[in-house]
Amino acid sequence: MKMTKTSFKTTVVWNKINWKKIQRMVFKLQKRIHKAAQRGDVKAMRRLQKTLMKSWYAKLLATRTVTQDNKGKNTAGVDGVKSLLNAQRLELAKNLGTTKKVKPTRRIWIPKPGTDEKRPLLIPTMTDRALQALAKLALEPEWEAKFEPNSYGFRPGRATHDAIEAIYLAIHCKAKYVLDANISKCFDNIDHQKLLSRLNTYPSMRRLIRNWLKAGFIDGCNMFPTTTGTPQGGVISPLLANIALHGMEEVIKEYANTLPTRRNHGKKQNRDALSLIRYADDFVIIHENINVVLGAKAVIEDFLKNIGLKLKPSKTRICHTFEEYEGEKPGFDFLGFNIRQFPVNDGMSAKAPRSGKTLGFQTIIQPSKKAIQRHYKVISQIIDSHKAAPQKVLIQKLNPIIQGWANYYSSACSTDVFRDLNHMIHIKLTSWARYRHLNKGAKWVADKYWITVNGDNWVFGYNNPDTDERYILSKHTWTKIVRHTKVKGDASPFNGDFVYWGARTGKSKEIPSLLAKILHKQKGKCAYCGLTFTTEDQIELDHILPISLGGKRKFDNIQALHRHCHDQKTATDGSPSSSRDKGMFSEEPDEVKVSCPVLETSSTREGVA
């Protein structure tokens, strides 16, 4: 008897699904959508998007994203549904459709990093999250073909380091003025009609997105309407925010074309001299003429006003990269980095690219003072809260934080900062050790808690000769400084250039060095399912033989898996579920924007299973 499509869906077993085939088929559709958008074939693009929205494979993939991969999978919406079982996931995928009624979101408040302020987070129901993930699968390839080259936030294959490198390329050969700006309450104030007009999609998709925007939210026992903004916490919200802000770079280029031209080595220069670089709701405008920067600011304010937004005065300033300007010190902070030009001698000075003229300065990018202070504060709090804990527990708590922070800043001029942090942490650990042994001398304490590693006599750690275990606290200076290579302006993971994206696998500064080494060993593929990791995948480390079953904490016993593959492997390898550590490599430190569309509200643990 021939099996119908409906009966096939009911007989599927979640753990037996061929995810490799599903991802390949969905990506083929996305690639065709992307190419149709690039060549301007709207009819073909809309047809393919409708096909993807009805695809059983795409529905399965969207369901897996929100129920297994997403860090917010354990956070319930207004219906209280969370942590779905396999049968419930299949039922959810089967019932996904664009005609389903949208439920209001649940509002919770989360603290803003580094401030006493709190921001509202609107949590959709699990069904709406899955449907948003499905819509994102269809819309993102279209908009990745349209987005401007210097937009880096909330986009696949792009990161904060690409934005920082773009800034460096814009200023390293000339001192310039900079407008460093932030959009006030970007997610909360976007005009719905303007957003839907810019989205310009087919009717059923437009109605669906409009319903999400107008769904309202519940805070406590009260229901409130939403007249503006996109719900910060929805899967599709970052994409919608980028669509609303799309066009900023174009209006700046149009403004540049109205400026009087000047000649340099026989070439007219205007458009390329004025740069706008944006990461989510933070952006900078760069030019050598202060009047041009002020004019560009007015143009951007008009652009934002048209979609219901405005600049945040407390986070908007104009400065110069090399000199003091109207009481503002040279340089600026952006995404946790401090960018500034320092006077140097002729031997170290930057030179003009064509004439070879010595410029008298050098562009230095390093961690910002606020980022350093917050990082050290976190480390100090951990040390203070573990005064009675074993040394290995303290090391296990500190290592992921130190390694992750150092790796993030390993593309900047961070050597001096790393050295200072080593010294500060050493002093803090010395105080921690002496507090535990008030009646012992300094030499006894040093011999107990510090060992020699590769000629360094002051490494916080210990060797256990009975179990052959060795715990060593990482130092910031052990991380090598390697310059980041900026992503190509028109590059997209949907263009099918696997050679280009494969070469970038594991090289992101947001990936810890251990994970990068594992990815290199596995040739960029998941050790469980064999699929090549993409820029959107959530990757976790796992012990091949669990520690609870006698496995060792060694490189040869660690593998990189998709988060959903980690779930399946842990369920069958005999290890207790409580030993599985989650969310290890999903967060960016300090001022960096969190790219995860549904922010985490449940607790996380650090380490590897």
Over residues 479-537, the pLDDT tens digits come to: 999 888 899 888 888 988 777 777 776 666 566 667 777 877 777 788 888 777 776 67
> Residue 83: pLDDT band by 50, 70, 90 thresholds?
confident
What residue has token string 């219906």? 79
Out of 444, 477, 510, a domain closes at: 477
Q: What is the pLDDT of residue 511?
A: 66
**Is the confidence at residue 430, as pLDDT, over 90?**
yes
In this structure, the answer to whether residues 393 and 421 fall within a common structural domain is: yes
In this structure, the answer to whether residues 207 and 94 fall within a common structural domain is: yes
**Is the confidence at residue 472, as pLDDT, over 60?**
yes
The values of phi and psi at residue 370, to 5°, are -65, -40
Query: Distance between terminal CA atoms of the chain?
Result: 45
In this structure, the answer to whether residues 320 and 429 fall within a common structural domain is: no
The span from the CA of 562 to the CA of 553, in Å, is 20
In this structure, the answer to whether residues 236 and 260 fall within a common structural domain is: no
Range in 84-93, 236-245, 367-376, 533-542 with the lowest mean pLDDT? 533-542
Q: What is the pLDDT of residue 278?
A: 96
In this structure, the answer to whether residues 309 and 457 fall within a common structural domain is: no
Distance of CA 488 to the CA centre of its chain: 18
How many CB atoms within 10 Å of residue 386?
16
**596 domain residue, yes or no:** no
* 8 A C-beta contact, residue 296 and residue 179: yes
> Residue 353: pLDDT band by 50, 70, 90 thresholds?
confident
In this structure, the answer to whether residues 509 and 535 fall within a common structural domain is: yes
Q: What is the pLDDT of residue 167?
A: 95
Range in 97-106, 182-191, 371-380, 408-417 with the lowest mean pLDDT? 97-106
The span from the CA of 243 to the CA of 380, in Å, is 41
**607 domain residue, yes or no:** no
* 8 A C-beta contact, residue 564 and residue 68: yes
- Residue 547 is part of which domain span? 497-571
Mean of per-residue pLDDT scores for the chain: 84
**152 domain residue, yes or no:** no
* 8 A C-beta contact, residue 209 and residue 240: yes
Ranked by mean pLDDT, the top range of 11-25, 163-177, 459-473 is 163-177
Residue 290: both structure tokens together = 């202060």
Region 61-76 average pLDDT: 87
Out of 341, 367, 393, a domain closes at: 367
Range in 146-150, 232-236, 272-276, 495-499 with the lowest mean pLDDT? 495-499
Task: Look at the chain and report how many structural domains it folds into.
Answer: 4
Query: Which amino acid belongs to residue 393?
Result: V
In this structure, the answer to whether residues 449 and 425 fall within a common structural domain is: yes
**74 domain residue, yes or no:** yes
**10 domain residue, yes or no:** no
Range in 151-165, 208-222, 422-436, 540-554 with the lowest mean pLDDT? 540-554
Query: Strands, DSSP E only, in 85-167?
Result: 105-111, 118-123
Q: What is the pTM of this model?
A: 0.85
**Is the confidence at residue 268, as pLDDT, over 60?**
no
Give how far Cα 575 sits from Cα of 415, 568, 578, 606, Å: 41, 12, 8, 17
How many CB atoms within 10 Å of residue 464?
10
In this structure, the answer to whether residues 422 and 557 fall within a common structural domain is: no
Region 245-257 average pLDDT: 93
